[in-house]
Structure 1
């Protein structure tokens, strides 16, 4: 992923409220557009980097469970 894209995504959502961040995530998922995936990846990277080991384990459990459907 291009570093400029990562910085652009972070710049575009920096300072957003939780409601705005949720709207961004929901809109990206509901649009089902491939071009939104890199932005969601950047947001996940921020979440991952700022999560405790327990939170990471919980995310991995959720991901594993969701992929088994």
Structure 2
């Protein structure tokens, strides 16, 4: 049995408003459940693919700074 996790995550959030997406992200982070990590990864992939190089650079800087703490 093959399960397309990426497709399932995208199906579940497609068409959501910014507020709904924020709620999804915040809930995933606050819950601290490992099972939420793949979904956050899919959302990050969507961001990365749709960001221009400046937005990607800002994200990389933010990650680098956050990982120094």
Partner of 1:26: 26
Q: Given the alignment of the two structures, is residue 35 of structure 1 paired with residue 35 of structure 2, yes or no?
A: yes
Unaligned 5+ segments in structure 2 are none
Counterpart secondary structure, 2:4: helix
Give TM-score scaled by structure 2 length.
Answer: 0.95
Give TM-score scaled by structure 1 length.
Answer: 0.95
In structure 1, distance between residues paired with 2:48 and 2:14: 17
Q: Deviations along 1:10-68, whole A, 9 cap, x unmatched?
A: 00000000000000000000000000000000000000000000000000000000000
Q: 1:51 to 1:3 in 2, by over 3 A?
A: farther
In structure 2, distance between residues paired with 1:6 and 1:42: 6
RMSD: 1.2
Which of structure 1's runs of 4+ aligned residues deviate more than 3 A?
A: none
Counterpart secondary structure, 1:16: coil
Deviation at 1:3, TM superposition (A): 6.8
Partner of 2:60: 60
